[in-house]
Amino acid sequence: MEFFKKLITAIRGGGRELGEAVLDSQGIRIYEQEIEDAKEAIKKAESDLTGVMAKDMQAGREIERLEKEIAGYEAKALGALDQGDESLAGEVAEKIAELEVELETQKAAKHQFAAHVESVKEMIKQTHAKIREHEREISMVKTTDNVHKAAKSINQHIDGGSSKMVAAKESLERIKHRQQDESDRMAASDALNAELSGESLENKLKAAGIGEKSDRKRQVLERLKAKQQDSAN
Amino acid sequence: MNNLLEKLESVLGMSDSGSLNGLDYEFNPIPSDVEVVQVAFKDREELPIYLTQSESQMICICYLWDDTEVIPDKRAEMLEVMLDMNIPMPLSSFGRIGSRYTIFGALSLDSSAESIARELTVLSDNALDAIEAMSEYLN
């Protein structure tokens, strides 16, 4: 958001090297370095994450083992109690107490590992978002700079006369005129084709005794009839 | 990153008759600090398309008109119409560089020759239609 505003201010200010103005104010190299650092941090965090997740899984297995062991000793303690051997049951209870302390320690450790995994994941997510944001900003600055430089060259090219900038409406008129010429040419060629094929049709009709020839015969006959009528009168 | 000319060569290689989607064209690099190539379509030479590429995208620009050509009283309405038209217009958008209004399209750097060809021809058609449609706002 902040970045957009700065870019707008630079573009609205115009005139100067737009991109460079923003590049300077933003310290593009620092940005790029930040992106590099962030990528490194993510690499390290991901490798840390693998380590912590492994420890988390180890703690999980250890907890499972301890719980089984405790259950086993509990069964044994109950057996001793059933046999009325209080002293043996007491020894087993002590062993169970030791195992329970170890279990609590493993559970606490597992909890910490899990929390660590979550925080590293969150950190990686945030760093990715930061990289994406910086990369987008740098891309905007570089595009602005690139387009500005390209526009400068294009303007020089146009003003240089090799492709003079013509008013838009005039350009459109010229282009439409040329397109009209082209379509007139095509229409003329179509007409010509039609005429040629028409002629050949005329020829075919003539050959079949239809049209001009038969009409002439009729005209001659009428003329003769008219003459006969005249002489009769 | 392939340079623009190489990309355009591949577009040219795609068409055997020197035409893109039915439009004859030629392209020329123009001197610049950054890579700029001018593409001119036959019979539409007044409205050439300029291609340039930055690190992240390829941009095809066609200059439409200058601010001085705009009828001052109709300027605000013209800008609104341009905004309204930006979304429906296929592949291109209106823009402005300095005092010159443009129509442009941006492409990913790994665009295929077919995409580039389509972009160029659609942009040229859009430019003609845009000027025709917007001519009531122009002197």
Alpha-carbon Rg for chain B in angstroms: 15
Minimum-distance CB partner of B56 among A143, A166, A182: A143
Q: Which of A110-124, A158-172, B6-20, B69-83 has the lowest mean pLDDT?
A: B6-20
- What does pLDDT average to over chain A? 84
CA–CA gap between residue A3 and residue A103 (Å, rounded): 53
Residue A163 banded pLDDT, cuts 50, 70, 90? low
CA–CA gap between residue B95 and residue B101 (Å, rounded): 6
Inter-residue contact A103 to A70 (CB < 8 Å): yes
For residue A165, the chain B residues in CB contact (below 8 A) are: 63, 66
Interface test with A, best of B35, B54, B68, B134 (most A CBs within 10 A): B54
Tell me, rounded to whole angstroms, the distance of Cα B135 from its chain centroid: 18
Q: What's residue A105's pLDDT?
A: 95
Residue A211 phi/psi, 5-degree rounding, is: 95, -125
Residue B73 banded pLDDT, cuts 50, 70, 90? very high
Mean pLDDT of B22-46: 88
Residue A18 banded pLDDT, cuts 50, 70, 90? low
B16 or A219, which is more confident = A219
Q: What ipTM does the predicted assembly reach?
A: 0.83
Q: What's residue A212's pLDDT?
A: 61
Q: Which of A152-156, B37-41, B103-107 has the lowest mean pLDDT?
A: A152-156
The verdict on a CB contact (< 8 Å) between B43 and A179 is yes
CATH number for the domain including B50? 3.30.1460.10
CA–CA gap between residue A153 and residue B30 (Å, rounded): 7
Instruction: Dig out the tokens for A54 from the structure.
Output: 């492994």
* A165 part of contact set with chain B, CB < 8 Å: yes
Tally the domains of chain B. 1
Closest-CA distance of chain A to residue B61, Å = 9
Nearest CA in chain A to B132: A172
Provide the residue range defining the domain that includes B32: 4-137
Model confidence at B72: pLDDT above 90: yes
Inter-residue contact A103 to A62 (CB < 8 Å): no
How far is the CA of B118 from the CAs of B28, B49, B64, B92, in angstroms? 19, 13, 19, 11
Model confidence at B42: pLDDT above 70: yes
Mean pLDDT of A124-145: 87
Model confidence at A147: pLDDT above 60: yes
Own/partner pairs, A92-101, CB within 8 angstroms, 24+ separation: A96/A70, A99/A66, A99/A69, A99/A70, A99/A73, A100/A70
Inter-residue contact A7 to A141 (CB < 8 Å): yes
Model confidence at A16: pLDDT above 70: no
Residues 6+ apart with CB under 8 A from B118: B21, B91
**pLDDT tens digits, residue range A202-221?**
777 777 766 665 577 778 88
The verdict on a CB contact (< 8 Å) between A175 and B48 is no
Closest-CA distance of chain A to residue B16, Å = 23
A59: exposed, middle or buried (Cβ count in 10 Å: 0-12, 13-18, 19+): buried
The verdict on a CB contact (< 8 Å) between B52 and A165 is no
Model confidence at A1: pLDDT above 70: no
Inter-residue contact B137 to B74 (CB < 8 Å): yes
Residue A222 banded pLDDT, cuts 50, 70, 90? confident
Q: What's residue A215's pLDDT?
A: 72
Q: How many CB atoms lie within 10 A of CB A9?
A: 12
String of DSSP letters for chain A:
-HHHHHHHHHHHH-SS-HHHHHHHHHTHHHHHHHHHHHHHHHHHHHHHHHHHHHHHHHHHHHHHHHHHHHHHHHHHHHHHHHTT-HHHHHHHHHHHHHHHHHHHHHHHHHHHHHHHHHHHHHHHHHHHHHHHHHHHHHHHHHHHHHHHHHHHHHHHHHHTTTT----HHHHHHHHHHHHHHHHHHHHHHHHHHHHHHHHHHHHHHHHTT-SHHHHHHHHHHHHHHHHHHHHH-
Q: Which of B138, B134, B127 is nearest to B82 (CA)?
A: B134
- What does pLDDT average to over chain B? 89
Interface test with A, best of B44, B70, B97 (most A CBs within 10 A): B97
- Cβ contacts from A onto B, under 8 A: 97
